[in-house]
Structure 1
Amino acid sequence: PPPPARPGAGGGGPPPRALVDEVRSLRARIEARHAERRGAGAGASEPPSPEEVSLRADLDAKTEELRRLQGEAPLMQVCVDAQAIAEVVSGWTGIPVGKMLTDEIQAVLDLKGRLEERVIGQAAALEVISRRIWTARAGLTDPRRPIGVFLLVGPSGVGKTETALALADTLYGGERNLVVINMSEYQEAHTVSGLKGSPPGYIGYGEGGVLTEAVRRKPYGVVLLDEVEKAHPDVLELFFQVFDKGTLEDGEGRLIDFKNTVILLTSNVGTDTIMKLCADPETTPEPLGLAEALRPDLLRVFKPAFLGRLNVVPYYPIRDEVMHQIIRLQLSRVGQRLQEHHKAQFTYSDDLVAAIAGRCREVDSGARNVDHIITRTLLPEISREFLARMAARESISRVHISIDDQGAFQYAIT
């Protein structure tokens, strides 16, 4: 049976299977004409016949039409090409070769802009990260070391974790290529074996470490070490070799290679200093000045040798205008899901954005509370009404959310 049609692939054009058959037929005719010429003693320098030129033009046009129709993940392949091989390699190894083939250099050049689409209000931090990755991609850094090692410092809910998710998606083809390790679980010195694996003769030998096994299975990806300030200092010393040489020996003696990873560490150290310095927008320091002001706080928690091996990237507190942008971004994603699953239009009032922003200011969790409000308040109310309409076999065409006189969310579903 023919493969299912892709969304938006209608438009009156031929289906993908018909195009694939046409491309294969044109390829066969071109090869047949080429074989006839060789059989007649024609040399390689002899120009092709007008018929061959016409066939090649048709082949190029049909191939381009098929490429536009199928997108990044074609369901049918004309032949075994680089993309088909890349998909097989990706399926076996977990390395997202397929997406990396699609103009990877241009994707790296556009990295900062693509990150800013997801991480709002942290342009300075994203600039530092992007510059380091540009340098590494150009081959101007030590090839043994990780692509980049960054300590993301700032208050909760300002975009540090979202940066890791965006990097994994942009550079490595998906958020599944993100390894997250909560360092608060390694507050004792002996827990270091949980990261690299137990040595022979100890309990857990052969099971692999959380860090080493994850990177061994996915050598291309982002490693996020969350709440790194809570880890024991002896545990942090484990990473000196990773930062310097790009390798780490696991419990079984295997060398795990980190040279194709981006390592992000997050910390809330210095939050009070950041909030104090950034309280007034007119006197907010530049990124370099803010990083320098944070250094005394960081030295009280981390050793100088540890800080000297990574790039400190401060994150600014989220201001009201940035919070409004984040809320609108989250609401637009809700609208996309409503359109995809129910073909319903989604609108909201400006008062809704202001109300959500006001609730976020009441709780000291930054933009993280936006997702909580949407998923725990807005979506359950909408979902209950949707399910009731679906049970009654009634259609839904529009959803509008506003604020009533008491400041509560008001839903109009038609």
Structure 2
Amino acid sequence: MSEFQEKHTVSRLIGSPPGYVGYGEGGVLTEAIRQKPYSVVLLDEVEKAHPDVLNLFYQAFDKGEMADGEGRLIDCKNIVFFLTSNLGYQVIVEHADDPETMQEALYPVLADFFKPALLARMEVVPYLPLSKATLATIIAGKLARLDNVLRSRFGADVIIEPEVTDEIMSRVTRAENGARMLESVIDGDMLPPLSLLLLQKMAANTAIARIRLSVADGAFTADVEDVLNDESVTEDETVL
């Protein structure tokens, strides 16, 4: 919702009132609800929006309807609204092991931003930090997709050593960032050495027999074996 930080952007959601530019065109939100009355509406990072934008939802959450810029009432009774926010993430991290006290600790943080009347109309659902088991499952899925891409693109055997998963896990040090750090480690640390070797082989028009990803001395390593005169030539690239 960062694009709705200014007060005047309210008209983009519900449409412009009579006499203003854009009158008759409808709002992005109200028109979408009117055309698809059985929908899920996601408002991402609502803390970035102007307070007047949030004021639009009092009526929607209370009576199940919303007035657009032309004064027409839009039926919202069959709409499910999801509002996501980073407010209170530190409280959630600190109370992750004690969910019973989390709601009580989280309420003052939310009340500092949301008006009590609006907060009372919402159900707060905290998202807990990802556990190590969950992160390991996500990593396994990403490495499996990488395996499939390399096999289909180069027709080579792909070996990803188990210690690769452990090294990725060891570099994900901030639980509040969730799985985003996984992307950073994989794309920024693990893949560059492999990509460099593969580009070199493609430039030389060299067939590839085997690709291996591993870890040595706390660094990701990539090995690429060529198919050349029935002999395998191995090259290695390491990233710290």
Supply the distance in 2 between the matched residues of 1:269 and 1:258 (Cα, whole angstroms).
26
**Matched residue, 1:410:** 221
Contact 1:363/1:369 (CA < 8 Å) preserved in 2? no
Q: Pick closer, same or farther for the CA change 1:294–1:374 going to 2, 3 Å.
A: same
Supply the distance in 2 between the matched residues of 1:276 and 1:348 (Cα, whole angstroms).
35
1:403 offset after TM fit, Å?
Answer: 1.4
1:338 equivalenced with 2:150 (yes/no): yes
Give the structure with the higher percent strand: 2
Supply the distance in 1 between the matched residues of 2:204 and 2:54 (Cα, whole angstroms).
58
**Matched residue, 2:113:** 301
Supply the distance in 2 between the matched residues of 1:326 and 1:359 (Cα, whole angstroms).
15
Unmatched segments (≥5 aa) in structure 1: 1-181, 279-283
TM-score (norm 1): 0.47
Q: Size of the alignment, in residue pairs? A: 225
**AA of the residue aligned to 1:275:** V
**AA of the residue aligned to 1:409:** F
Out of 11, 30, 43, the position equivalent to 1:212 is 30
Q: Pick closer, same or farther for the CA change 1:387–1:240 going to 2, 3 Å.
A: same
Matches within 5 A, 1:7-406: 182=1, 184-216=2-34, 219-278=37-96, 284-286=97-99, 288-361=100-173, 365-405=177-217
Unmatched segments (≥5 aa) in structure 2: 226-240
Supply the distance in 1 between the matched residues of 2:152 and 2:64 (Cα, whole angstroms).
43
Partner SS, residue 177 of structure 2: coil
Give the percent of matched residue pairs that are identical in Structure 1 and Structure 2.
49
Supply the distance in 1 between the matched residues of 2:75 and 2:153 (Cα, whole angstroms).
42
**AA of the residue aligned to 1:243:** F
Supply the distance in 1 between the matched residues of 2:27 and 2:42 (Cα, whole angstroms).
15
Contact 2:130/2:175 (CA < 8 Å) preserved in 1? no
Contact 1:330/1:371 (CA < 8 Å) preserved in 2? no
1:314 offset after TM fit, Å?
Answer: 0.9
Supply the distance in 2 between the matched residues of 1:215 and 1:344 (Cα, whole angstroms).
50
**AA of the residue aligned to 1:212:** T
For residues 176-232 of structure 1, what are the alpha-carbon distances to aligned partners after superposition, in whole Å with 9 as ceiling and x for unaligned? xxxxxx2x3333433321221211211233443332344455555432212212323
1:401 offset after TM fit, Å?
Answer: 1.2
**Matched residue, 2:230:** none
Supply the distance in 1 between the matched residues of 2:157 and 2:79 (Cα, whole angstroms).
41
1:312 offset after TM fit, Å?
Answer: 0.8
Higher RCO, Cα 8 Å, sep 6+: 1
For residues 366-389 of structure 1, what are the alpha-carbon distances to aligned partners after superposition, in whole Å with 9 as ceiling and x for unaligned? 321111232344344444444444
RMSD, aligned CA? 2.9
Give the structure with the higher percent helix: 1
Partner SS, residue 128 of structure 2: coil
1:267 offset after TM fit, Å?
Answer: 1.3
Contact 1:186/1:235 (CA < 8 Å) preserved in 2? yes
Supply the distance in 1 between the matched residues of 2:48 and 2:21 (Cα, whole angstroms).
25
Contact 1:196/1:249 (CA < 8 Å) preserved in 2? yes
Contact 1:198/1:209 (CA < 8 Å) preserved in 2? yes
Q: Pick closer, same or farther for the CA change 1:387–1:249 going to 2, 3 Å.
A: farther
1:402 offset after TM fit, Å?
Answer: 1.2
For residues 325-382 of structure 1, what are the alpha-carbon distances to aligned partners after superposition, in whole Å with 9 as ceiling and x for unaligned? 3222222222233345444444322322222223221696332111123234434444
Supply the distance in 1 between the matched residues of 2:189 and 2:40 (Cα, whole angstroms).
32
**AA of the residue aligned to 2:120:** G
1:410 offset after TM fit, Å?
Answer: 0.7
Contact 2:129/2:176 (CA < 8 Å) preserved in 1? no
From the CA coordinates, give the structure whose radius of gyration is larger. Answer: 1
